[in-house]
Amino acid sequence: MNLLKYSTNFQSLVHSVEENSDPEYPMYSSFLSRLKTYDSRSPQSYQDKYSLAQCGFTYTGTDDLVQCYYCGLLLGKWEKNDEPWSQHALHNPKCIFILLLAFFNYK
Contacting residues for 102 by C-beta, under 8 A, at least 6 apart: 1, 3, 6, 7, 89
pLDDT for the residue 22: 87
pLDDT for the residue 88: 94
Closest to 58 measured CA to CA, from 26, 34, 78, 75? 34
pLDDT for the residue 11: 64
Segment-wise mean pLDDT, segments of 10 residues, the chain, 107 residues = 48 60 92 93 78 95 94 94 93 88 61
Domain ranges of the chain: 3-106
Q: Where are the alpha helices (DSSP H) in the chain?
A: 3-8, 10-19, 31-36, 49-54, 84-91, 96-106
pLDDT for the residue 2: 43
pLDDT for the residue 4: 46
Q: Which CATH number does 3-106 carry? A: 1.10.1170.10
- What span, in angstroms and rounded, lies between the C-alpha atoms of 93 and 19? 15
- What span, in angstroms and rounded, lies between the C-alpha atoms of 45 and 64? 6
Total-model pTM: 0.79
